Structure formats: C-alpha cells, structure tokens
Amino acid sequence: MKRAIRLAGVIMLALAFAGLSPAASAEERWVGVAKKLFEDDEYEKCIEMAEPHRKTNIGAMLLAFSHLQENIFNQRNYDREKFKSYRMQLEAKTSIDDVRNFLYFVNQNDKPSVVKEARSLARGTFKGVTQIEVIPKLVHFLGAKDEESQSLALAAIKRIIVPKRKYVSKGGTLRPKDIRIMRSKKLIIPLLERIGMRDAQKALLEIEQPVLQFSRNFEGVAITKLEAKINKAVAKREKRFPESNWYSAVGKTRK
C-alpha cells in the first residue's frame, strides 16, 4: 500500500513537471512521468514505471537506456544483460515510426552513452527506409542537437531523392506524391538551413528548380554556389529535354 501511494505521488509530481494534465491519455501520462524520471537520473524509478510497458518500443527504450545508465554507475552484470536484452528487442522492432523516440534520446546530451546507442538504433532504422512518404519523419529528426545525428537523416533524405532526379534525367515523370514532398518548403527550408552539410547540398541540387524560390531568402557563399549549380542543372536538362519541367522530361503538368 505504501509503495502504491509513493508511486502515485511520484506520478502526480512528474506530470506537473512534464506539463501534462491528469486528463492526458494513459500513454502520455506514463511516458511523460518516465521521461521526467529519466531526465532527472532517477533510473530505478524509471525502470519501475516502464516495466509494465516493456513490450512497447518506448517502454523498451526507457528500460534499455535506464539499465545502461545504471550499469555505468554501478557496474552490475544484471543491468548490463538487461540492456543487451532490450537492445536486441529494439533492433528487431523499431521502425521509422519511432523517429520521435529516437530524437528524444539523442537529445539527452548529458548522457553520452545513451546518445551513442540511440543514434546507432536510428542509423540502422534509417538505412532501410526507401519510400518518399517517410521524408517528413526524417525532417523531424533534423531537430537533433548534434550534427552527427542530423547527418543520419540527411543521408537518408538524399538517398531517397537521388533516384527521382535520375528518373527524370532518363525521360520520366515523377509521381504526384514525389512532386508534393520534394517541392515542399517543409523539406527545402530545413535543408537550406543546413547548407553547410554535404548531404543537404546534394539533396537540394537533386530537388533542383523548386529550391530557387526559397534560396533567395538566404545569404552566403554556399547559397550562391548552390544556386549557380541548380541553374546549370536546369539549363542542361532543358537542352536535353526542351519541353521538360523540373519533375517531367516531357513537360507533363501536375497541379
């Protein structure tokens, strides 16, 4: 009874600090509490909170990284083995849908081992993504505090976009969803904001002409060089395919 009362008190206090009301969903409530405990280095309490949710990916992440931290501080085989077990579970189950969870852990920059392991999980997940629809989720991961983590998303974005430009250069027309995502300011502006990173530059060049309507609002040598390269690419495309537009070698129009 005392343990239940103590845990209830912890939950209410953590909810307040996490900015969650008692009316929040059950998942929001326990995750919010567990994250607050994790951020405050209360790893044993975080484990207690997350244990009933161990089969969910966020539950397994909180457990894995709490045991990882416990092992760092206490050097116990128990925590080491628990971390390995949950890490294996996550390797098998995580997907691009976990991008917000990946981002949360890579941004725990006072916990370097957690950042390293979360980044490794994200890297393995991002390598397997190929569909244009996942790009908005990859853009969300650009909210990582460090460039090494951001570079994982940029590499995946570039890898997805490059074949689209090659398809047009061979005489093809992109699908409506390719066009919608590639010309979106929600993609182009975050890439322009990271113009100093190689894969961001490459992705912008592959998007081609739509970039120019947004790049005019940016300044700097890198932007000027990018615009020159894009204009050169446009001229080359139009010379080869006189009726073309940026997404269709035959000039097919899409709304």
* pLDDT mean across residues, the chain: 92
Q: Residue 19 has what pLDDT?
A: 53
Residue ranges in the chain assigned as alpha helix (H): 2-17, 26-39, 43-50, 57-74, 77-93, 99-106, 112-126, 135-141, 147-169, 176-182, 185-192, 198-207, 212-215, 221-240
Taking the C-alpha atoms of residue 170 and residue 227, their distance in angstroms, rounded to an integer, is 23
pLDDT band at 5 (very low <50, low <70, confident <90, very high): very low
Among candidate residues 95, 69, 68, the one with its CA nearest the CA of residue 84: 68
Q: Residue 28 has what pLDDT?
A: 82
Percent of the chain scoring above 70 in pLDDT: 91
Q: Residue 12 has what pLDDT?
A: 52
pLDDT, mean of residues 144-162: 97
pLDDT, mean of residues 139-159: 97
pLDDT band at 24 (very low <50, low <70, confident <90, very high): low
pLDDT band at 18 (very low <50, low <70, confident <90, very high): very low
Task: List 5's β-bridge partners, or say none.
Answer: none
**For the segment 104-141, what is each residue's pLDDT rounded down to a tens digit?**
999 999 999 999 999 999 999 999 899 999 999 999 99
Q: Residue 26 has what pLDDT?
A: 73
**For the segment 171-213, what is each residue's pLDDT rounded down to a tens digit?**
999 999 999 999 999 999 999 999 999 999 999 999 999 999 9
pLDDT, mean of residues 46-70: 97
Using the predicted structure, report yes or no on whether residue 242 has a pLDDT greater than 60.
yes
Among candidate residues 10, 66, 57, the one with its CA nearest the CA of residue 33: 10
Taking the C-alpha atoms of residue 228 and residue 113, their distance in angstroms, rounded to an integer, is 42
Query: Backbone phi, then psi, for 95, in 5-degree steps?
Result: -145, 180
Query: Backbone phi, then psi, for 110, in 5-degree steps?
Result: -95, 10
Using the predicted structure, report yes or no on whether residue 214 has a pLDDT greater than 80.
yes
Provide the residue ranges of all domains of the chain, joining segments of one domain with +.
1-128, 132-255
pLDDT, mean of residues 236-247: 97
pLDDT band at 254 (very low <50, low <70, confident <90, very high): confident
Q: pTM for the whole thing? A: 0.87
Give the CB-side neighbour count of residue 23, counting CA atoms within 13 A. Answer: 0
Using the predicted structure, report yes or no on whether residue 168 has a pLDDT greater than 90.
yes
